[in-house]
Amino acid sequence: MPAPAGRRDKAVDCQAFADALVSKGYGRLVIQKGAGSYNPCVLVPPGSTSAAHGTLAIEYFDFTPSLTQHVSDAALVISHAGSGSIFESLTAGKALIVVPNPLLMDNHQAELGRHLAGMGVLACAAPGDLVNAVLQLEPAELKPYARGDASGIAAAIDALTGRAGLRKTAKAGQGR
C-alpha cells in the first residue's frame, strides 16, 4: 500500500494507523517518504527501512522512478491529492484515500479530492483523520472510476489558442 510522502508520513507512522490497517486485513505498508527530513521512526526502528508490526510488514524508501508496480501490487493506495497520483491509482482500479496538501496553489488538491470523494470514487481525509478514513473505508462501496473523454476540453483549449485546425490536420495526416 503506497502511502503519502512529506508531512503526511507522520500520520502513517503511528501505532493507531498500523492497528487500523491490520484490523481491515491489510498485510503490507509501503511508504514513499520523499525528500523530507522526517524518517519513519515509530513503526520502523531508527536506522532501518523495514520492520514488522504484528502481521503488518512495513517498508519505506525516499523515491523510486515509478510507483506503477507499487500501485499495481496495492489493495489500497493512500496518496497526496495530486491529479497524476489520483488518476494513476483510479485507472489501475485501486481503492484510494487521498490526503490533500492545503498549502499548494489555492488548495487545489483539497478541491479535487472533495469533488472525487463526492462522486464516490475515492475517500478524502486530512492527516489527522487518516486512521478513521481507513477504518470507515469499504472499498467495495467505492464506485468504479470511468475514464472521461478529454476531447471536448482539448478542442476548447485549441480554439482559445488558435490551434483548432492544427489538431484536425495532424490527425488527418497520421494514416498516410
pLDDT tens per residue across span 3-59: 444 456 688 999 999 999 999 999 999 998 888 788 899 999 999 999 998 999 999
The answer to whether residues 128 and 157 belong to one domain is no
pLDDT at residue 1, rounded to an integer: 52
pLDDT at residue 113, rounded to an integer: 94
The answer to whether residues 134 and 154 belong to one domain is no
pLDDT at residue 103, rounded to an integer: 72
- Say how many domains are in the chain: 2
If you average pLDDT over every residue of the chain, what do you get? 87
The answer to whether residues 88 and 160 belong to one domain is no
Confidence of residue 141 (pLDDT cuts 50, 70, 90): very high
Residue 8 DSSP symbol: G
- Structural domain including 168 reads 146-176
Angstrom distance (rounded) from CA 92 to CA 90? 5
The answer to whether residues 139 and 151 belong to one domain is no
pLDDT at residue 154, rounded to an integer: 82
| Contact call for residues 124 and 113 (beta carbons, < 8 A) | yes
The answer to whether residues 95 and 9 belong to one domain is yes
The answer to whether residues 137 and 77 belong to one domain is yes
CB atoms within 10 A of CB 10: 15
CATH number of the domain encompassing residue 97: 3.40.50.2000
The answer to whether residues 83 and 152 belong to one domain is no
The answer to whether residues 53 and 140 belong to one domain is yes
Q: Which phi-psi region, left, alpha or beta, contains residue 162 (left: φ > 0; alpha: ψ -120 to 50)?
A: left
Q: For the whole model, what pTM was predicted?
A: 0.81
The answer to whether residues 85 and 164 belong to one domain is no
Is residue 171 scored above 80 in pLDDT?
no
Confidence of residue 152 (pLDDT cuts 50, 70, 90): confident
- The neighbouring-strand residues paired with 50 are 59
Closest CA to 44 of 32, 58, 30: 58
The answer to whether residues 112 and 160 belong to one domain is no
**φ and ψ at residue 56, rounded to 5 degrees:** -95, 115
Report which of residues 65 and 176 the model is more confident about: 65
Pairing of strands 95-98, 76-79: parallel
pLDDT tens per residue across span 67-122: 999 999 999 999 989 899 999 999 999 999 999 987 766 778 899 999 999 999 99
Closest CA to 124 of 87, 92, 80: 80
The answer to whether residues 47 and 107 belong to one domain is yes
pLDDT at residue 151, rounded to an integer: 84
Angstrom distance (rounded) from CA 104 to CA 114? 15
Between the CA of residue 161 and those of 154, 156, 165, 166, what are the distances in Å?
Answer: 11, 9, 11, 11
The answer to whether residues 122 and 166 belong to one domain is no
